[in-house]
Amino acid sequence: MKTEKRKHILQRIITLIAAGVFLFSFYKLVPILYDYYTNNRTLESVQQIYESGRNVAEESVEGQVRTSFQPLLEINKDIVGWITIDQTKIDYPILQSKDNDFYLTRNYKKQDTRAGSIFLDYRNDNKLENNKNVIIYGHRMKDGSMFGQLKKYLDKDFFKSNKTIYLDSLYEGYDVEVFSVYQTTTSFYYIETEFPDHQSFQKFIDQVKEKSLFSSDVSINQEDTIVTLSTCDYAVDSLEGRLVVHGKLVKRGDGE
């Protein structure tokens, strides 16, 4: 009889512990899920604003901010562009601050969020053609937002069928012709923005092409500008793993 009573007590203790673990996990999970929800709603709002601006016919004028960005700049003057990748959730404003830390944990309204923003390296000129390597960062969120779906480029079929990334600056519209994707760590310094000479730039291009998981027929010369998309890759290393996509910047032409 005592043995049965002990078993019953033990079962109740185990049940209470399990319930406690569940409640604690739920308590920790709710803020994360709420942050995902609010972040997605905030992004939907800015997408609607930008889409409304894009529907207005405009003509690119040298040095003049395009009509589609003017409503966004009224919200935040740190907005310097927009990036879109077909068959992904990536359709976001690009921010730029005086460092690479500010928008790691803030959205385009400068509100705190674990998703942060898609942002341009502070060393880059927001007139994109003035750079050799345009570097854009974003978190790899578990809900697939931000650069969470950049991992699709690790699939050969996706890589081959989504060769163009659409990148708009305040002043011009561009196509980014993807030519390289790979996983690496921060030990490989792929975020160099300036090169001492043409030979150094060409050497860098050769390196990132060689690292690519898949081959590409995109040709790049010493006068070109490339775009580098960077996000974390926890499968490679929990702290220093990175997933990198490179493309060639090509002006779309005046207007859209």
Residues marked active site are found at 232
Q: What are phi and psi of 168, to 5 degrees?
A: -120, 130
Which among 140, 97, 144 is positioned nearest to 121, based on CA atoms? 97
Rounded CA-CA distance 32/40 in Å is: 12
Strand partners, 183: 243
* CB 24 within 8 Å of CB 31: no
What is the H or E stretch that residue 232 is in? strand 226-232
Q: How far is CA 41 from the centre of its chain?
A: 18
3-class DSSP assignment, residue 136:
strand
**Which DSSP symbol is given to 94?**
E
Chain position carrying tokens 């803030």: 106
For residues 92, 96, 99, 104, the Cα torsion angle rounded to the nearest 10 degrees is: -20
> Which are the contacts of 142, defined by CB distance < 8 A and separation ≥ 6?
148
Q: Where are the alpha helices (DSSP H) in 55-188?
A: 70-75, 156-161
d(CA 35, CA 33) in angstroms, rounded, equals 5
